[in-house]
């Protein structure tokens, strides 16, 4: 290739995102606990909606997502549907934000152990990614504010955070929003918000401020990871900007109609929330009993902390030998940790039994 043909600045600095592994060569009875998927899958209502939508695959989808946006607004306490934007997972909303508000010479700020897509999307837009240190794997509002400069355009905060599972209280998030420079937007990534009792993902703060955007996903508690549907909620002016860079047919009819069916399926959501909370507590307690500490988990995974990177890697290898796939989070600067999805009860018991074997506990 000619030396004159070059990608935009930042592109070649991107380390490709690696999703959670799903297979182990030579094994059939594999349990995947590496991608924070809902072990109960989508509801019956979702599956029926998907089947119905398959009859119209020859038709283009609508471009404004009106029906889905109205369903999301109603299901989340009467949000303003006109301030909702839908995307291919919440990842696409993150991409839109960086594409629209950050470029060469701008900075995109996030925390030390924040979701990898923040860095990737910043670099793809030509912006400079900036990390603020965390305190004991928890976002530090003072550190974030101290890291802001006149070049800061976006500040991403996942709450609960992935992969740490730690949570920042709303009074602290409000202090962060109030303290940002005038040109900066606070983006609250609420991919795991449904797992936290009484937490609206930041919706009330979005309604009260003109510099806050919330992102959400259907990939976690709704069980639609394979369909890739997400959404964002923000000030009308910001959502208008994002819609100008959104592709007109970014969501298919199948995606929209299936997501619309699940967003109001409270019985399925509550079942998944209840079972996840029960098994999450059991899993974290069982690991702590084995001498493997976990921060208080609030999402659908636990972050197991080992003595060092060598022990974490050895445990991961042992688990793979037992047909169990968990997530190595060295890419998040947590080489001594393994992130373990809260699966169904047999999966949770199986992974604890295997780790007990690894630790030599009977």
Kindly tell me if the per-residue pLDDT of 28 is higher than 80: no
| Rounded average pLDDT over 199-211 | 96
Whether residues 77 and 17 share a domain: the answer is no
Select from 230, 249, 265 the last residue of a domain. 265
Whether residues 232 and 295 share a domain: the answer is no
Kindly tell me if the per-residue pLDDT of 20 is higher than 70: no
pLDDT in tens, 91-108: 999 999 999 999 999 999
Reported pTM: 0.93
Whether residues 108 and 227 share a domain: the answer is yes
Whether residues 105 and 20 share a domain: the answer is no
Whether residues 241 and 271 share a domain: the answer is no
Residue ranges making up the domain that contains 227: 44-265
- Asked whether the beta carbons of 337 and 306 are under 8 A apart, the reply is yes
pLDDT in tens, 159-196: 999 999 999 999 999 999 999 999 999 999 999 999 99
| Rounded average pLDDT over 328-332 | 94
Q: How many domains does the chain have?
A: 2
Whether residues 137 and 276 share a domain: the answer is no
Whether 277 maps to a domain, the answer reads: yes
pLDDT in tens, 262-317: 998 999 999 999 999 999 999 999 999 999 999 888 999 999 999 999 999 999 99
Whether residues 208 and 241 share a domain: the answer is yes
Whether residues 187 and 74 share a domain: the answer is yes
């Amino acid at each position: 290739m000619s030396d004159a043909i070059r990608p935009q600045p930042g592109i070649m600095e991107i380390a490709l995102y690696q999703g959670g592994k799903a297979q182990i060569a030579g094994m059939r009875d594999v349990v995947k606990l590496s991608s924070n998927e809902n072990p109960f899958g989508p509801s019956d209502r979702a599956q029926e909606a998907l089947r119905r939508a398959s009859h119209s695959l020859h038709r283009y989808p609508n471009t404004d997502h009106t029906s889905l946006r109205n369903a999301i607004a109603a299901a989340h306490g009467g949000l303003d549907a006109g301030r909702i934007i839908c995307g291919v997972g919440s990842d696409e909303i993150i991409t839109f934000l960086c594409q629209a508000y950050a470029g060469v010479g701008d900075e995109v700020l996030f925390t030390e152990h924040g979701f990898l897509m923040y860095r990737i999307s910043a670099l793809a837009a030509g912006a400079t990614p900036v990390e603020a240190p965390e305190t004991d794997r928890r976002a530090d509002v003072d550190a974030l504010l101290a890291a802001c400069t006149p070049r800061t355009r976006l500040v991403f905060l996942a709450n609960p955070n992935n992969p740490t599972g730690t949570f920042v209280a709303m009074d602290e998030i409000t202090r962060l929003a109030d303290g940002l420079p005038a040109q900066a937007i606070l983006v609250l990534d609420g991919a795991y918000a449904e797992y936290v009792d009484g937490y609206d993902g930041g919706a009330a703060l979005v309604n009260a401020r003109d510099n806050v955007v919330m992102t959400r996903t259907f990939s976690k508690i709704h069980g639609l990871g394979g369909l890739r549907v997400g959404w964002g909620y923000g000030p009308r002016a910001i959502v208008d900007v994002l819609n100008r860079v959104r592709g007109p047919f970014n969501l298919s009819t199948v995606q929209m109609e299936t997501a619309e069916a699940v967003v109001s399926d409270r019985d399925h959501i509550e079942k998944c929330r209840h079972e996840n909370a029960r098994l999450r507590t059991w899993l974290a307690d069982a690991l702590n009993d084995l001498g493997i500490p976990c921060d208080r988990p609030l999402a659908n995974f636990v972050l197991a902390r080992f003595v060092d990177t060598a022990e974490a890697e050895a445990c991961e290898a042992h688990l793979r030998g037992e047909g169990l796939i968990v997530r190595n989070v060295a890419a998040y600067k947590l080489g001594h940790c393994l992130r373990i999805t809260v699966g169904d009860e047999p999966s949770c018991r199986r992974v604890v039994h295997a780790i007990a074997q690894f630790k030599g506990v009977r």
